[in-house]
Structure 1
């Protein structure tokens, strides 16, 4: 017997597809909702039908553009639309994947948009769980790419505690299957300087680029402090380590 209907916004993406699979495996009726399935949280298309009879909505969607204005517009518009549709459908639990560090002093435009998303959810009156994750192990290549000049990758030594997407999806699925818990943080088991994390990732993949530590180098458009991206006491630690993750995860196309 199905235990609950759980709609996963962004359910065909990296995290969402894993969340749907895990929820299905535990007997829930997990519905993958995305533009690919005719559900668009930004325009509102298909939302009412998708949320009909739903107990929980999980939002793991992401902006197609990382330009500051675009990402703010995406998360605020999408979340307002979701909250309105959830109230109309009687949804009792809103789960959103967000980032460790959104509540710290920083000037990262993407984080500002996620913080705005969180505030809309907190003020919605709907029970919520906000899963704050550290950077994914999967992001090593993309962090390198946005920080490359010629054959040199310039990155700060700011600390990160990266987590595998598989572990993120486990945490999100657990939150979705449970009661609203407010804010939680999740992270991997190891702490790296950002430059060191990317250096090890590129070296394993035999990428010829040189990684240089430069504490004035921006991270997604902003200079960050040493501990901006590090979780606080009480964080839930998952077990996947970089050295075991790398051989099983070739670069994504």
Structure 2
């Protein structure tokens, strides 16, 4: 009798043929599954009648059905293991049991069997569990592959440095001392211009006070008064702005860049200049 349907390698090949189920139509799969069920009924009856050889032949025919489910494959392998063990072919029966348990580790024997066969079956189950344990543990340790479409993980916050509680850190400020020369030069120039304007206004005032002969008419006097007031206003304004520029340059140099902006303004009422604003 041919032995290809009774070995463990034949059972493994039978299990691999389940992959072709993807290409089988639902109608043909249902018909083939019903055919396997008829074979299983026949195998059970032959086993109960102790017709082991004929039952093995039925298993071979059933395993030739291409559209078998995993449950059918497991049941056929269990029957094969039982029949082979009953016939004294323990090694081949063990291989058949192992093929079934690899597909379904919690499988149970489909029919009552002798205690020695039940003991053999449970020993094979324990062996399969030991062989599969490293694979299962490796699958649990290895993290699942991250999909490229997922957003990158958010970095964890940095751990606090011991002894640094309550210390606020700030980025170093920009060094403004290198730029202090600009407002100093502008402010100095405005101070000089303001001093010249103020001196001109004082000169017009001196002409009026000393009765300058050039002021012969009323119109000459009015023009001198107007020029004096104008130069005085310009002088005070320039002096105020120049002083603000010099003060800003001094603050930029000595403070290295104030945290709060320097806001200074100059106003005049025609006779005096006033500096107002905020200084850090």
TM-score range, shorter chain: under 0.3
Whose strand fraction is larger, Structure 1's or Structure 2's? 1
Whose helix fraction is larger, Structure 1's or Structure 2's? 2
Structure number with bigger Rg: 2
Higher relative contact order, chain-length normalized (CA < 8 Å, sep 6+): 1
